[in-house]
Amino acid sequence: MSKQEVILVTGAAGFIGFHLSQKLCDLDFSVIGLDNLNPYYEVTLKESRLHLLLRNKKFKFYKDELTDKQAVDSLFAQNEIDYVVNLAAQAGVGHSITHPYAYLESNMHGFLNILEACRNYKPKHLIYASSSSVYGANRSMPFSTRDNVDHPLALYAASKKANELMAHAYSNLYNLPTTGLRFFSAYGTYGRPDMALFIFTKAILEGRAINVYNHGKMRRDFTYVDDIVEGIVRLLPKIPTQNEKWDALHPDPSTSFAPYKLFNIGNNQSVELLYFIEVLENKLGKKAVKNFLPLQEGDVLESKADITDLENEIGFKPSTSIEDGISKFVDWYLEYYKINNK
């Protein structure tokens, strides 16, 4: 990759998109950010991320809807885009149960616009965000990209599985190199306010009870955002090619006869929710008031990523410990919201 090349990051004002755009600018790449700054969570946080990005002359921003085909096509027509990282999506498992149409529009209609633009303008590589939630009812640990993922537990997961299928179709029809990344429970500074760490930190500091689903007996492969970003950056130049050894009689879902690839990006560690809360309590110096509840609809009991393929491909595996990651988040949270926790 040349540092004069242009990388489009959709969802650039979002959690992972912000960190990725910042990293790419630091590496001296030209970055085009696309985001609609939707109000799913506090827009001021998105604006804060964007404010930091716009300090860098290497970053150019478009405020547009991914579902607006004309706007997406115009962006591609106006810029010679070499690589695309599609992170824009309607996030949240629970929200997909109460607001299903938002997922159809953003995650499928929006992604189709990206695929069509890539078909017509031919960037070298399209990387897109999938999710560990696609593993659904699968209970075989660790989750492997070779596992069956045909039993999603919520529409969010189904929309991400659909993205993988749509990408494969375009890889096959138009020789478009695509890489899908199944992120595992991303967390970190400038994180999303609808995610557990953010919700728990805010509630504990305010002395309010936190809802602990499945009585805290769930386990998650929490992955620090810097590790996710490092994985994406290293995968950008790893452009998929046709797998000549792909066997239609014994199909491997993670690869293809088309230029298509899937990777897990996780920490390869499964942490119990109660321990996660304990680490947070220790960092804050305050005990949480716990409201124990049954398993939430659409939730999986456990997640853990098999990252063997990722490590073999890029010589890197996420390794930030939950203790270090939570500590960094809390330090950021107290600073960002100007909270004196002494």
Q: Which residues are catalytic?
A: 156
DSSP string of 52-87, one letter each residue: HHTTSTTEEEEE--TT-HHHHHHHHHHS---EEEE-
Reported in sequence order, the residue ranges of the chain that DSSP labels E, i.e. its strands, are 6-10, 30-35, 59-63, 83-86, 125-131, 178-183, 186-187, 209-213, 219-220, 223-224, 260-265, 271-272, 289-293
Answer yes or no: are the C-beta atoms of 322 and 219 closer than 8 Å. Answer: no
Contacts with 326 (C-beta within 8 Å, 6 or more apart), sequence order: 187, 197, 276, 279, 280, 283
- How many other CB atoms sit within 10 Å of the CB of residue 325? 23
Answer yes or no: are the C-beta atoms of 289 and 209 closer than 8 Å. Answer: yes
